[in-house]
Structure 1
Amino acid sequence: MQIHRRIMLPCLQLFLLVLNLNLLMCFVQRFKNKQSSLMWSLGMLSVIDPDIPLYARQRDACGACMRLWSLVDLGVWSRHFMMSTLVVVLHNLETRKPLLNGLQQRYVEKLQDHPMYRPKELMADLRREVGVSISYKIAWKAKQLALGIIHGDHAKSYGKLQSYCDKLVASNPGTMAHLQKTTEGRFFRMFLAFGACITGFTHCRDFIGLDGTFLTSKYLGALLTATGIDAMGGLFPIAFGVVDAENEDNWVWFLQNVHDCMASVNAITFVSDKQKGLLPAVELVFLGCEHAYCMRHLDANLKKKCNNGEFIRLFWVATYANTMSDYDTAIQGMRVISPATTDYLLTTSPPFHWATTHFKGKRYGHFTSNIAESLNAWLLEARDKPIISMLDIIRRQLTAWFYARGMEGKKACESLGDRAQFALVANVEKNLREVGNSARQYRILPSSDMVFEILTSTKTCVVDVCTRSCSCNKWQTFEIPCANASAAILLKRECVQWYVHKAYALQAYCNTYSGVISPIVDASEDASDQLKPPATWAS
């Protein structure tokens, strides 16, 4: 080994003894400050001579170049002195490994406290704490190594997947877990719906939000989700699909599995965006079911064509309009501002997919796919994990969710006693009290036992109690009597709660979360499947 040395310490002569960097790691106690201790733990400082507090920073460029520091204590003050540059002739292949090992251990510690800790955050922390810059590639590799320690190897996880699915089905009756592989024996796609979710959905509203989100694990892919709404208006996960990409073929396959889970599919309303094969897939699998477009996505597309505030405002007026006259007025206003954009909207997105006056399904006031996207945000922690770890995070979150909401419903029922069987969930009861107060101020003209004309200070509406409809269209939209309907029902001396859809009942909420999602033993104990990971992977 040849050393080119230029001493920069005045009045101080040091004789350097270069030793094997891997033999003297026991001298960590010689570091007296946070910065040098952290750099030591990252493998970026090594002892050169144990008798002289002299250290070397290992550079990432294959160990060919290092800089030295001396921590000199003269009794009165201490300083860091840059001493020299070493040019090492012998090629040191060990240099990168200590650095990654140190970063890996630091990442493990961070992930334990902050599961969403990102490579960029590691880079920023190192720059701030020790003044060291590393590449994103090194930080990303450190993250993968850390995740491997915590969650296991990505590739090996696929070999245990069939065993994991079998145990899920065995411990959770009614669960559907379908796994498909390619002719080469590689993972292709899988579908998962827990038995408790399948049964629980029968007590929810007939409404499903569809969405997909990309996976950030080593083998990439996409996670497809089907999400319902419980009696309280909270999102209710129904099914999950892991596929290579969002496209029509994968959506058809996923929806066919969802279809097989459903006890009845006659009246289900779907909401989603218009991207990546969803529209033809829903039409093919759920023929006759209504499909609403996500209004937020339509809004974003229109702004690209005509970013005019008044035009967008009129678009939303047309969306929420409860009468054809209000809808037509809004559309005419849009044509005045931008005829081309209005024609584009009506041609590419027919109003029966989004306008309240034209849509025949039940949206329950949900005009966007936010419920499905909220679920994807809820799953953010799981998206970069090996597939079994990802599925187990989903299972554990659902387990906690079912238990907490089940206990909430149980306590509410116990507090009401015998009245619980007739009670509605709290937010609906509150809504009925508010509309009831308004209804008492209306003038009511009965046309028959079932049809009533309701006169308010601003408008006149017609209520048909038999068909559970009001000309304001709110009763049909939410399946909860509006103020006009409440006025008519109260005049009949009947209970308004009787006319609320059964999906809003407190008992329905309890039944939704009455199931149990059970834990399973370690799938690796008897894993024997030779399933290979998918061909796509992140570099």
Structure 2
Amino acid sequence: MKFNTKWDFKEAVREFTIQEGRRIRFRKNDNVRMRATCQVKGCPWVVYASRDHEDTCWQIKTFLNDHTCPREDKNRAANRNWVASKLVKKIRKYPNFKHCDVATYFKSRFDLTLNKNSISRALFDARNAVFGDEKEQYKMLRDYGLTLLKTNPGSTVEICCTPQPQSDPVFDKMYVCLSGCKSGFKAGCRPLIGLDGAFLKTQFGGQILSAVGQDANHHIYIIAWAIVGVENKENWKWFLELLHQDLGDYRQNGWCFISDMQKVFSNS
């Protein structure tokens, strides 16, 4: 068996030993040869590969696949990077993959037992690989807002930040009402607006405020939404004032509001 590079061979050995539930150690590891043995004293398992000078690839010369040691459900070779690499595909398919799901997956697929800290760190890396660094994404909000306004003329995008004397401004809240959502609600939805807030399960938390309607097919119709730090009277008042500017006076248009937060809206 041949490998393009030394690192391809090393990763293949690690993958194999993790699936086999054994601990190995590279006794020789230089530019021309690599030799791995089982860490358990007396176990004869060994694999040896060297570089082929003709085509510069790495070829296995010796492989004794005979373990006399028992299988283990914990393996140091299954480090943070390896676990995260296995989770990337899962996160893309199941964005809400949780800690318990990760533990179950690695136990059933690799017969590995991972501790909570390993799972948390690997999930963090995998989500960053799939969705990007959340902190860095906040730096792109201005560009995102300008793109929305450019591609949806007539939309409303409001971004508020808190100035910092010796550093960059800190994000406070953001309001979005797309032109198509605005005109579609006025043209074809029932005169009913539902208002609600929900927690954001992200690294920095916060809450999302939303205004929705109901179309002719009895489906929920998004009108506007906002990201805020906390759901309180001040943020709801800010949200409703912007919604009022976008949709017009609710008394003149005959719109009714529905919500389960009477105390919040009584003064808004």
The answer for unaligned runs of 5 or more in structure 1 is: 1-22, 56-66, 84-94, 286-539
Q: Normalized against structure 1, the TM-score is what?
A: 0.38
Where does residue 248 of structure 2 map in the other structure? Answer: 263
Corresponding residue of 2:196? 211
Structure 1 residues 32-66: Cα deviation after superposition (integer angstroms, max 9, x where no partner): 96x73487xxxx955434546425xxxxxxxxxxx
Q: 2:124 maps to which residue?
A: 144
Alignment partner, residue 239 of structure 2: 254
User: Which secondary structure state, in structure 1, belongs to the residue aligned with residue 250 of structure 2?
Assistant: coil
The answer to which structure has the higher strand fraction is: 2
Match of 1:273, SS? coil
Q: Does 1:193 align with 2:181?
A: no
Give RMSD over aligned pairs: 3.3
Q: Based on CA coordinates, which of the two structures has the bigger radius of gyration?
A: 1
For residue 81 of structure 1, the aligned residue among 54, 65, 69 is 69
CA distance in 1, matches of 2:135, 2:223: 27
Report how far residue 257 of structure 1 moved: 1.5
The counterpart of 1:119, out of the listed 96, 99, 121, is 99
Number of residues of Structure 1 aligned to a counterpart in Structure 2: 230
Give me the TM-score of the superposition, normalised by structure 2: 0.73
Percent identity for Structure 1 against Structure 2: 22
SS in structure 2 at match of 1:225: strand
1:498-509 to structure 2, matched below 5 A, reads none
Letter in 1 for 2:18: S
Change in Cα spacing, 1:196 to 1:26, as seen in structure 2 (3 Å) is: same
Q: Are the counterparts in 1 of residues 226 and 239 from structure 2 also a CA contact under 8 Å?
A: yes
Alignment match of 1:166 (pick from 146, 161, 185):
146
Which has the bigger relative contact order, CA under 8 A and spacing at least 6? 1
Q: What's the CA shift for 1:215?
A: 0.9
1:154 pairs, out of 126, 134, 156, with 134
Query: Closer, same or farther in 2 for the Cα pair 1:47/1:211, shift >3 Å?
Result: same
Provide the residue aligned with 1:131 in structure 2. 111
Cα deviations by residue, 1:146-204 (Å, 9 ceiling, x for unpaired): 22222221111111111110111111011111000113210001101111001111021
User: Is 1:36 aligned to residue 21 of structure 2?
Assistant: no
CA distance in 1, matches of 2:223, 2:237: 16
Question: How far apart are the structure 1 equivalents of 2:129 and 2:237?
Answer: 36
Contact 1:190 1:242 in 2 (8 A): yes
Tell me if 1:228 matches 2:228.
no
Which of structure 1's runs of 4+ aligned residues deviate more than 6 A?
Answer: none
Q: 1:24 to 1:105 in 2, by over 3 A?
A: closer
Q: Would you tell me which structure has more helix in proportion to its own residues?
A: 1
Contact 2:232 2:264 in 1 (8 A): no
User: What is the SS of the residue equivalent to 2:163?
Assistant: coil
Q: What is the distance in 2 between the residues matched to 1:38 and 1:213?
A: 45
Q: Distance in 1 between matches of 2:41 and 2:215?
A: 64
